[in-house]
Amino acid sequence: MEIIKTGFNGLLVIEPDVFADKRGYFFESFNTESYRRVGIDFIPVQDNESRSSRGVIRGLHYQLKPHDQAKLIRVIEGKIFDVALDIRKESPTYGKWFGIELDSESKKQLFIPRGFAHGFSVLSEVAVILYKVDSLYNKAAERGIDLADPALAIDWKLGTITPLVSEKDTYHPALSQADNNF
């Protein structure tokens, strides 16, 4: 397993060791002890899976403290552009975002620590995403940030495709107006 730092404290790209041959492949997608050895103290309590079609954007979601979540994101099928937005007010990277293409071929994963909002756009015909979280979903703590906040200027990598966004995600405030206790 290779760990790649992103320039954001705690936000890491994980490249697992994939063993492939004519039968297919095998890789260890998560191991508490292996992660702990490289400095990632992450104990998941819930797995989430989503399936979306090309052009879908989901996000930018987070939960307020004390229900905040660290997440481990991986793509089971297809390709996405994954975005993590630092909303930790005291962080030197507050208000900046990191984006990376994740796909089912490379098996790369993104570890997102607490204090980040998360979203993704679907670049393939279909994408199935699995993410582990270390705190249970709490509807009362759920929040979001406007996907099109001009201050963030996120390029969702969709080109001329018209984004498909849930009604709920169209009502999130800009980062400067978002409910944030980080």
131 is catalytic: yes
Of 35, 62, 118, 131, catalytic: 131
Distance CA 58, CA 131 (A): 13
Distance CA 146, CA 53 (A): 21
| Per-residue DSSP letter, 2 | E
Cα of 83 vs its chain's centroid, Å: 6
Structure token pair of residue 98: 């990191």
172 is catalytic: no
Of 35, 61, 62, 118, catalytic: 61
Element (H, E) at 32: helix 32-37
Active site (catalytic) residues: 61, 131
